[in-house]
A and B are shown apart, each in its own frame.
Chain A
Amino acid sequence: AQKVTQAQTEISVVEKEDVTLDCVYETRDTTYYLFWYKQPPSGELVFLIRRNSFDEQNEISGRYSWNFQKSTSSFNFTITASQVVDSAVYFCALSEARQAGTALIFGKGTTLSVSS
């Protein structure tokens, strides 16, 4: 069965600290997609990244970076030099490409609080 685990419920950091959000997933498929979404207080889920199971290259986008390791079924997200605007709930999600539709399986989310 598919499952996404975000073990960290809440993280609090001070501005300019680096922070890593952990994500561990379970799937029987060899082809799947992993996502990170950000949910600010407004409620809208904002897409951050999609990664397919055949692409294990790490990715960096500005202050954001992602570390995908199939060997440990992990897809961790690091924010470098965090800012107050990074405060939000972050969700990791999984989708199996063979399924009809685009159903995402979300983790329970990690609430990140960045204080000034």
Chain B
Amino acid sequence: DAGVTQSPTHLIKTRGQHVTLRCSPISGHKSVSWYQQVLGQGPQFIFQYYEKEERGRGNFPDRFSARQFPNYSSELNVNALLLGDSALYLCASSLPPNLYSNTGELFFGEGSRLTVL
């Protein structure tokens, strides 16, 4: 079975541009989360979507937005890029949260490495 797939794997943008990153979850997974990992740091939570609705949002500016499609794939959009947005953007999918726990095992993709010049 295919794991979490992300595209593009690498991209270079200039300040002020816009970027769209894409993620396809593992088949059967309905929840997708996005994380930003700056070099030398741990991943930071950006968004979680479940059944096309936003379920959680981290401490990121409104320049960051996301959506989930009926097939459970997801896009992360970043507007007005800054140098500080250069990072590895990781997508993770999981089975839906259950009644007793919101926390299940997350399966991560290999990420999209964004460089902003």
A interface, CB within 8 angstroms of B: 4, 33, 37, 42-47, 50, 52, 91, 93, 95, 97-109
In angstroms, how far is the closest chain A Cβ from the Cβ of B113? 8
A50, A52, A91, A98: which contacts B43 (Cβ < 8 A)? A91
B106 and A47 contact, CB distance less than 8 A: yes
Count residues of B near A (Cβ-Cβ below 8 Å). Answer: 33
Q: Are B33 and A45 in contact (CB under 8 A)?
A: no
B8 at interface, CB cutoff 8 A:
no
**Using a CB–CB distance below 8 Å, which chain B residues touch chain A?**
3, 31, 33, 35, 40-45, 48, 50, 55-56, 58, 88, 90, 92, 94, 97, 100-111, 113
Task: Give B83 Cβ to nearest chain A Cβ, in Å.
Answer: 21
Bound CA span A99–B31, Å: 15
- Closest approach, in angstroms, between the C-beta of B9 and any C-beta of chain A? 9
Main DSSP-derived SS at the A contact region: loop
* Chain B neighbourhood of A42, CB < 8 A: 110
With both beta carbons as reference points, the residue of chain B lying nearest to A99 in the complex is identified as: B102
B residues near A50, Cβ cutoff 8 Å: 103, 105
**Residues A101 and B42 in contact in the complex (CB < 8 Å), given A44-B109, A47-B105, A47-B106:** no
Report B-chain residues with C-beta under 8 Å of the C-beta of A98.
Answer: 102
Query: In the bound complex, how far is the Cα of B101 from the Cα of A101, in angstroms?
Result: 10
Looking at the complex, which one of B40, B97, B110 makes contact with A43 (CB distance below 8 Å)?
A: B110
Residue pair B97, A102 in contact (C-beta under 8 Å): yes
Complex formed: what's the CA distance from A108 to B56 in Å?
Answer: 22
Q: Which residue of A lies closest to B41 (CB)?
A: A108
Given contacts A33-B101, A44-B108, A50-B105, contact A106 B56 (CB under 8 A): no
Q: How far is the CA of A95 from the CA of B109 in the complex (A)?
A: 20
Do the beta carbons of A44 and B111 come within 8 Å of each other? yes
* Chain A residues with CB under 8 A of B107: 47
Residues of B within 8 Å of A52, CB to CB, are 101
With A47-B106, A104-B106 already in contact, 17 other A-B pairs whose C-beta atoms are closer than 8 Å: A44-B109, A45-B43, A46-B108, A50-B105, A91-B42, A95-B103, A97-B100, A97-B102, A98-B102, A101-B56, A102-B31, A102-B94, A102-B104, A103-B56, A104-B43, A105-B45, A108-B42
